[in-house]
A and B are shown apart, each in its own frame.
Chain A
Amino acid sequence: MKIAVCVKEVPDPGPNRRIDPGTLRMDRSGDRSLNAYDLNAVEEGIRLRDAAGDGEVVLVSLGASKALDSIRKGLAMGADRAVLVSDEAAVGSDLVATSYVLAKALEAESPDLVLFGQQASDADGAVLWAAVADRLKMPVISQISELEVADGSITAKRQTEFGYDRIRTSLPAVLAVADSLNEPRYPSLKGIMGAKKKPQDVKSLADVGVDAARAGEAGSRTTVISLSPPESRGGNQKIEDDGNAAQQILDFLVERKLV
């Protein structure tokens, strides 16, 4: 079984993330890592490949060329190779442009399964899989918390606002997995060492057959108009437990008459 896992490099979560006020884009110059939610998709890809006994797991991404540093974590976990579409003309791609570029890169791979994590931690988006599935003309199931593969079909359990659905589809298909589906493995030292030697193809837009007019800002249909500071949520104190945190929490609650 050939499994493509779509992954993304994101700025590390935490207070240092910022949007560049000049470009109105995410500042990607600081510390970065693989989107944590993608690790569940990588893990599931590896498990499905191993259970099938053959096939491969290909990581597919769109990003800066240095994103390979983050993507290598997926290779260290056990994915077989990576394809990164990286092109100056793709910078600033929105959903329309990103889904188009990714779909073109995925078409070239003809996978049986395309896996996504449950969201991107930088943009809070949870819409890419549905857009990619539409472009690939494949069925899609999202929010998967349990997955069974048998005889060329997938049965998935997933949570909605009303409880749990069970949905079945034939392959090929696009699946988005919830972070509850599995516990991503930590890469072993051997895996980390071996990751560097695994194939890592960096492709241009032309390499995947995308006209530059359909990527980046030219291919995007949404804009950021302006940025402003949020309404304050008040306190926002953060403390580290030095053995006295329980007392500090109690004092905080008493002060606000909550105890």
Chain B
Amino acid sequence: MNIQAIKVIYKYEMLRAWKTLLQSFASPVISTILYFVVFGSAIGGRIEQVEGVSYGAFIVPGLIMLALLTHSIANASFGIFFPKFTGTIYEILSAPISFIEILIGYVGAAATKSFIIGIVILATAGFFVPLEIAHPVWMLTFLVLTCISFSLFGFIIGLWAVDFEKLQLVPLLVITPLVFLGGSFYTIDMLPPAWQTVTLFNPVVYLISGFRWSFFEVSDVSVWISLGVVSSFLMLCLVTVWWMFKTGYRLKH
């Protein structure tokens, strides 16, 4: 294994985040604080408890997931798209590196950044609402799996995109609606029956449900189903990236 290559790619990507510290870490935290102010305090004050949990605390797992998903995708997609755009990707392609090593470097760095954002938001939430984590190991498991799988998904978008418009297309038109309709701010049974069925086709529902269960033992679906869906998504992304590197799709044309 080319450990040196993994190290330099990881370090390079982390350094990129460090150079844009405000944009990378402060911006998501500020956005989440605004969500707490608007939904937790202004609107949440008028909503009674949801499944025995105060509304302010109830939305914390959803808000963390919202930030994790968007930042995992943004970090990883930009990380690989930019070398493609500038042409410096030639260096990665001509180096003695396997696709797994490239993934560990780029996706590892993107996932680390998202993980840090998740932890910072969690800590920030503690200032606004009383938080207890019923199953810390499950919470960390969902946190890590989500960071990795959506960074992988972002990496795929970065490989697929041929211009900046396409780079933004999937996060804006697919991910944001899925997250907002994925139960960040409500439980499924608060929806009309028809929409409850439709919602079950949204994979983000399973993520947020599992993550919320690890906090409050409240979930829309079984935690094992949530784990299965996240793991399946991770595997699907891995297979897709493997195929893209094997065929050179949008890389070696």
Partners in one complex: no
